């Protein structure tokens, strides 16, 4: 274990002892295994990346933040070391510019930067070292060397709690750097309400209000260049006390009054320690849902750190009074918690299912939030690419999360699947031809614009399958037959001569020349090459294998995916971390390692899965790098489910593919007292038998009923 990991482990154990045992509790401590710094360090090894990083490039790996947050919270309070970076924090940096209150890891947000300063010069920011920095779920601490301030941060759902211990109590100030965020700031405002209270807002793509209360008097509020992009405000404090300065701040996406109400209700007169203890208890409660026995210390650290990272997004957007700003920019009110849209292109594969298993009420409210967007805009939201709200919503519905307007949501999803100029670009062509074409471009390169026709065709086909399952359950036979027929459209981009998924022109001809190893962003494929999308038909693997000419031919082609060397001159951001042509650093082929199961060769899948689990997470000099961008928790969720031995191969379907878990025993505690136990029997890593409730399992999948009723899966290995 590296020094940072050891230090964090000791620190979190101390925090956890205080939080969990300080009030007579005896619950086992799980937050001790979480290292929030994982994913913040750079990935630089060309043997893992597949290429030498060009000068000035930082790999798009990890892009996580180490700051304080509760699960799926509005406030995610974290240090910023570089504006315009993925999550605002990069482990190799040495200067902190502020502590921002929103995050995701997608080059956006990082709103309301605040920094305690003392005797500053003309620029703002302080050097820091990792030796004087700590993090745990719901807590962050760092010492600012230049200002001699020890900073501690904790959070509630909608509020941040700052503690600043100034070593020099003279000329204490707090910077509100409101002209800065990861999005362009168009306007900002801050006003002093009384001797200890401030309020204001920051306008980016949306307006974020804040209401802040200090425990010491304000001498003066100084505003500088309020109309300019370099503007800022300085809060000058009195020098009356040597006690730590505390700043409690509530956020709202609705109004300053709501920000105030959020603060009063969630923090009120509670102390920093009380709020930090509550955060630790909440995290321990949800992390304790899954209890693992066995495995190495590193594997436990990666498992619980990945589980933690899987539970940060979507983010809460409604206030304690139920109000939120809707998709049209209007204030509305609901009897459920309103959340941001999931990162559906990434998270439908695994994370959305995991969220439903761990926090079903949050998953339900996310569906209701998406339905609200659909009611206001006419379409269920999509994210970036595809129409995977269908899989996310239908998968939850088939798993029993059904306390929402099912018929109304279904009608919106049908509109997504069929309406022109709506949620699915080029859907008319897709319906008419059974595929989406791309233009004839002489020399396409990585950044060449196009329709990403192959990727869209494959993903729409899966989305059609997903929606067909809802139609079937609701008894809509007409739409079921139509959608299930469209789900076979993946076949229309399969080229029998190359036995790969290949782009087509408007007239139906195959695109030439054709280099299946070259990665694209939008031409034929989205952030992928032909190899990386050619095994995607999770809803019809039997049909896909048939296209390849049977199991033997399919196996040979799948072997090639993992063995044909990556060309190191093919450099595309996001397409990185290669095992042959397979790319684990991005999402489009994350199901491919499991594909050997469909030709009865699970041991070949397991070798690849084990390599990924043990060699591509928690890597680099500090053991803090990830092999790819976490993408709002999808990369982490892949690890969690694969380490447990239950993967959501077709996330829509209420079944799980059984693999060999990393741990000897897993206890998955469910709401209502039900418990699913997974036992690994045997010393080997090759799957031999699957025994469910003392009976041999038919095939490699198990039903979601095991989560509903409880039971035992015994994975026998050789």
Digit-coded pLDDT (tens) for 224-234: 987 777 899 99
Q: How confident is the model at residue 2 (pLDDT cuts 50, 70, 90)?
A: low
Q: List, for residues 64-79, the tens digit of each pLDDT value.
A: 999 999 999 999 999 9
CA torsion through residues 51, 52, 58, 62, sign: positive
Instruction: Give the C-alpha separation, 637 to 701, whole Å.
Output: 19
Cα separation, 85 vs 95, whole angstroms: 14
pLDDT at 3 over 60: no
Over the stretch 415-439, which tens digit does the pLDDT of each residue have?
A: 999 999 999 999 999 999 999 999 9
Mean per-residue pLDDT, 208-216 = 98
Q: What is the CA 534 to chain-centroid distance, rounded? A: 25
Per-residue pLDDT averaged across 435-444, rounded?
Answer: 96
Alpha-carbon distance 209 to 207, whole Å? 6
How much is the pLDDT for 26? 47
In the predicted model, what is the mean pLDDT of residues 83-105? Answer: 96
Residue 208 — pLDDT band, cuts 50, 70, 90? very high
Classify residue 443 as exposed, middle or buried by CB count within 10 Å of its CB (0-12, 13-18, 19+): exposed
Give the per-residue pLDDT at 241.
82
Helix (H, G, I), strand (E, B) or coil at 144: strand
- One DSSP character per residue, 288-325 reads TTEEEESS-HHHHHHHHHHHHHTTS-S-B---TTSEEE
Alpha helices in 509-577 (DSSP H): 530-533, 541-548, 551-563
Give the per-residue pLDDT at 227. 72
Is pLDDT at 279 greater than 60 in this prediction? Answer: yes
**Cβ contacts of 435 within 8 Å, gap of 6 or more:** 429, 453, 457, 489, 492, 493, 504
Q: Indicate whether 97 pLDDT > 90.
A: yes
Rounded Cα gap, residues 628 and 527, in angstroms: 13
Token output for 140: 């962050």
Confidence band for 22, pLDDT divided at 50, 70 and 90 = very low
Band of residue 170 on the pLDDT scale cut at 50, 70, 90: confident
Mapped onto helix, strand or coil, the DSSP state of residue 615 is: helix
pLDDT tens-digit readout, 539-577: 999 999 999 999 999 999 999 999 999 999 999 988 999
Instruction: Round to whole Å and give the CA distance between 475 and 196.
Output: 61
Residue 670, pLDDT score: 86
Q: How far is it between the farthest Cα atoms of the chain?
A: 81
The dihedral region occupied by 645, where left means phi > 0, alpha psi between -120 and 50, and beta the remainder, is left
Question: Model confidence over 129-142: pLDDT tens digits?
Answer: 999 999 999 999 99
User: Is the pLDDT at 406 greater than 90, yes or no?
Assistant: yes
240 vs 168, higher pLDDT: 168
| pLDDT the model gives residue 4 | 53
For residue 24, what pLDDT is reported?
A: 42
Q: Which residue has the higher pLDDT, 168 or 460?
A: 460
User: Can you spell out the DSSP letters for 331-376?
Assistant: EEE-SS--BPPP-HHHHTTTHHHHHHHH-HHHHHHHHHHHHHHHHH
Give dist(CA 604, CA 379) in Å, integer.
41
Rounded average pLDDT over 476-501:
98
Mean pLDDT confidence for 320-344: 97
Distance, in Å, from the CA atom of 253 to the CA atom of 430, rounded to the nearest integer, reads 38
Structure tokens at 501: 């998924």
**Separation of alpha carbons 481 and 381, rounded Å:** 24
- The length of the chain in residues reads 718
Hey, how many other C-beta atoms are within 10 angstroms of the C-beta on 264?
A: 16
């Amino acid at each position: 274990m590296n020094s940072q990991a050891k230090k964090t482990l000791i620190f979190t154990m101390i925090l956890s002892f205080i939080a969990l045992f300080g009030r007579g509790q005896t619950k086992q401590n799980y937050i001790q295994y979480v290292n929030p710094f994982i994913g913040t360090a750079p990935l630089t090894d060309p043997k893992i990346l597949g290429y030498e990083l060009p000068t000035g490039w930082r790999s798009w790996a990890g892009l996580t933040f180490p700051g304080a947050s509760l699960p799926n919270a509005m406030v995610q309070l974290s240090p910023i070391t570089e504006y315009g970076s993925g999550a605002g924090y990069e482990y190799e940096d040495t200067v902190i510019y502020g502590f921002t209150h929103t995050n995701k890891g997608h080059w956006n947000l990082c709103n309301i930067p605040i920094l305690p300063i003392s005797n500053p010069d003309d620029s703002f920011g302080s050097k820091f070292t990792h030796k004087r920095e700590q993090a745990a779920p719901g807590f962050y601490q760092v010492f600012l060397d230049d200002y001699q301030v020890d900073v501690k941060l904790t959070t509630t759902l909608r509020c941040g709690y700052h503690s600043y211990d100034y070593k020099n109590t003279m000329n204490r100030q707090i910077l509100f750097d409101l002209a800065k965020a990861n999005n362009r700031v168009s306007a900002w405002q801050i006003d002093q309400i009384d001797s200890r209270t401030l309020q204001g807002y920051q306008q980016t793509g949306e307006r974020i209000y804040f209401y802040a209360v200090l425990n010491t008097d304000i001498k003066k509020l100084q505003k500088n260049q309020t109309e300019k992009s370099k503007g800022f405000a300085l809060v000058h404090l009195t020098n009356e006390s040597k006690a730590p300065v505390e700043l409690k701040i509530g956020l709202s996406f609705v109004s300053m009054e709501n920000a105030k109400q959020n603060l009063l209700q969630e923090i009120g007169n509670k102390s920093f320690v009380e709020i930090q203890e509550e955060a630790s208890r909440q995290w321990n409660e949800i992390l304790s849902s899954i209890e693992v026995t066995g495995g190495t210390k590193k594997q436990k650290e990666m498992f619980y750190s990945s589980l933690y990272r899987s539970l940060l997004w979507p983010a809460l957007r409604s206030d304690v009074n139920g109000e939120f700003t809707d998709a049209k920019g209007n204030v509305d009110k609901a009897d459920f918690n309103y959340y941001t849209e999931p990162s559906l292109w990434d998270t439908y594969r695994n994370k959305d299912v995991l969220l439903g298993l761990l926090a079903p009420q949050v998953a339900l409210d996310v569906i209701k939030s998406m339905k609200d967007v659909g009611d206001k805009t006419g379409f269920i939201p999509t994210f970036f690419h595809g129409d995977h709200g269908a899989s996310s919503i239908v998968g939850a519905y088939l798993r029993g999360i059904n306390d929402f307007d099912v018929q109304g949501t279904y009608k919106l999803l049908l509109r997504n699947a069929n309406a022109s100029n709506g949620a699915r670009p080029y859907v008319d062509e897709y319906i008419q031809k059974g595929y989406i074409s791309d233009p004839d471009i002489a020399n396409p390169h990585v950044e060449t614009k196009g329709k990403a026709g192959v990727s869209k065709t494959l993903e729409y086909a899966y989305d059609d399958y997903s929606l067909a399952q809802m139609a079937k359950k609701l008894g809509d036979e007409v739409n079921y037959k139509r959608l299930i027929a469209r789900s076979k459209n993946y076949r229309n981009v399969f080229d029998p001569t190359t036995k790969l998924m290949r782009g087509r022109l408007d007239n139906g001809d195959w695109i030439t020349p054709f280099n299946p190893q070259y990665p694209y962003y939008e031409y034929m494929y989205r952030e992928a090459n032909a190899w990386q999308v050619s095994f995607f038909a999770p809803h019809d693997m039997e049909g896909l294998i048939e296209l390849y000419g049977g199991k033997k031919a399919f196996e040979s082609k799948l072997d090639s995916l993992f063995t044909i060397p990556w060309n190191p001159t093919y450099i595309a951001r996001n397409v990185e971390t290669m095992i042959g042509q397979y790319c684990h650093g991005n999402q489009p082929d994350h199901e491919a390692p499991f594909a050997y199961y469909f030709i009865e060769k699970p041991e070949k899948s397991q070798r690849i899965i084990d390599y990924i689990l043990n060699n591509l997470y928690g890597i680099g000099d500090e053991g803090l790098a990830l092999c790819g961008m976490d993408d709002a928790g999808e990369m982490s969720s892949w690890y969690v489910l694969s380490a447990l031995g239950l993967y959501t191969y077709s996330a829509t379907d209420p079944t799980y593919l059984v693999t060999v878990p990393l741990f000897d025993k897993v206890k998955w505690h469910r709401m209502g007292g039900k418990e699913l136990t997974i036992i690994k029997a045997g010393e080997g890593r090759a799957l031999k038998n699957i025994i469910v409730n003392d009976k041999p399992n038919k095939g490699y999948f198990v039903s979601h009923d095991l989560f509903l009723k409880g039971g035992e899966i015994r994975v026998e290995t050789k």
